[in-house]
Amino acid sequence: MKGIGLVLGLCVVGCQKAIPDRLVDSRAKTKIDHSLHFKNPGRVIHVVVALCDNKYQGIVPVPAHLGNGEDLKQNLYWGSQYGVKAYLQVQKDWKLVPLEGKLEDGILERVAFKHRSKPVWLIADAYQGRRIQDATRTMFHYAAGEDASIVTVDKVKIAIGGGADLVAYVGHDGLMDFSLKETFPASDKRHRDVVILACKSKQFFGPHLKSTGARPLLWTTNLMAPEAYVLLAAIDGWLAEEDGEQIRLRAATAYNKFQKCGLRGAKNTFATGW
């Protein structure tokens, strides 16, 4: 993908167009499973990605090949150069590994990565662009410890969803366009970490996230390009047991490296904690 500055510009203006609620899919209330008791063999990260979609999301349209919410190969947040799947595939510390398990409705693809030197697994789900409301709702359920399930990754069983240790969301901030009427109370006493890479996510996701009991490790206070180098920077800091401010600096440094926006401006884009 060429023109990083262009992508940021598209993202920034993309957060300014309203979209009618009638165009946004919603699903039935998520089935809650309180019965899953499973100890992971290491740390698990579950990333929810809402594919960029010109038609069904409240964005000013990006180039068609980046904004097709059904196209896994070229989508801005998945298959393009800095999309979650494409970017992780070329990182030396991560290896794409086989995955077994049934996909939930609305997920076009689920991939699994294993850290090459640590017992850490990363699961990433690509939701259809028109299912952004489902993706957002699912992230909150995971943060609250709901919807845990067990999958087999490279012959190893791990608990994902509400069983993960770190939950992340990447994509457009759909809460600028629609509202979620339900609440997401914590289902257990675990305090999961959450990363939310979407424009102004602290403002829009905060009211729902509070009740989940999750800790906002990294989120945003401004318009931004939710690209995977920021996600990876946050994960690296999390694996190194860094505190929120150290992770915020990592994210800002990565963002400035790719966006050339100045470290001060990048730091002002991200926040940690409440």
Number of domains the chain contains: 1
Considering the domain boundaries, does residue 4 fall inside one? no
The pLDDT assigned to 16 comes to 58
CA atoms of 230 and 256, how far apart (whole Å): 10
Q: Is residue 119 part of a domain?
A: yes
Position 192 scores a pLDDT of 96
Q: What is the pLDDT of residue 11?
A: 47
Residues sharing a CB contact under 8 Å with residue 263, sequence separation 6 or more, in sequence order: 252, 253, 256
Q: Which of 167, 158, 159 is nearest to 186 (CA)?
A: 167
Please choose, from the candidates 236, 233, 235, 241, the residue with its C-alpha nearest in 3D space to the C-alpha of residue 259: 233
Residue 21: the pLDDT is: 45
User: Does residue 9 form part of some domain?
Assistant: no
CA contacts within 13 A on the Cβ side of 131: 18
Q: Is residue 26 part of a domain?
A: no
For residue 190, is it within any domain? Answer: yes
65 is in which domain, residue-wise?
40-271
Q: Is the pTM of this model over 0.85?
A: yes
Bridge partners, 150 (sequence order): 159
In a domain, 31, yes or no: no
Judge whether 169 and 196 are in contact, CB under 8 Å.
yes
Burial (Cβ within 10 Å: 0-12, 13-18, ≥19) of residue 47: buried
Residue 28 is assigned to a structural domain of this protein: no
Is residue 75, in this structure, part of any structural domain at all? yes
How do the pLDDT tens digits run along the chain, 274 residues long? 444 444 554 444 446 565 544 444 333 433 445 446 789 999 999 999 999 999 999 998 999 999 999 999 999 999 999 999 999 999 999 999 999 988 989 999 999 999 999 999 999 999 999 999 999 999 999 999 999 999 999 999 999 999 999 999 999 999 999 999 999 999 998 989 999 999 999 999 999 999 999 999 999 999 999 999 999 999 999 999 999 999 999 999 999 999 999 999 999 999 999 9
